[in-house]
Amino acid sequence: MILLEWLETRTPAAPPRLLERIVEVVGPSAKAPASAAVLLAAAEGLLRDLTIQPALGRESALDLLTVDALVTYAFEFAAESPESFWDTTTEAIGRLSAVAQ
């Protein structure tokens, strides 16, 4: 299943603007096979973009929610294949903690 289709099957559904932003951030990978790695990479990239801003205000709220949703969806996807859950967790910790350094 491609990532966009997988995202559209989530229950409860993401609000339309949030889903639109997720697809924007994921870019062409939205039409690739769904994977936790793609979701985590998108979350990491957006989080990096946010951390270089001199200050975050209300205008950053959607992007912060998008990072949160991408990470949540990565774990949801990984939970569908429990054998990969540990690897996804380890990858998430590594990617996201590296942003803070």
Q: What is the mean pLDDT of residues 4-31?
A: 96
Cβ distance 29 to 42 under 8 Å?
Answer: yes
Phi, psi dihedral angles at 33 (to 5 degrees): -55, 140
pLDDT band at 100 (very low <50, low <70, confident <90, very high): confident
Res 5: pLDDT:
97
DSSP 8-state secondary structure symbol assigned to residue 34 = P
Q: What is the mean pLDDT of residues 90-101?
A: 89
Res 94: pLDDT:
92
| Of 34, 18, 23, residue with least CA distance to 66 | 18
- pLDDT tens per residue across span 65-76: 999 999 999 999
H runs (alpha helix) in 32-83: 36-51, 61-79
| Of 100, 89, 101, residue with least CA distance to 40 | 89
3-class SS of residue 16: helix
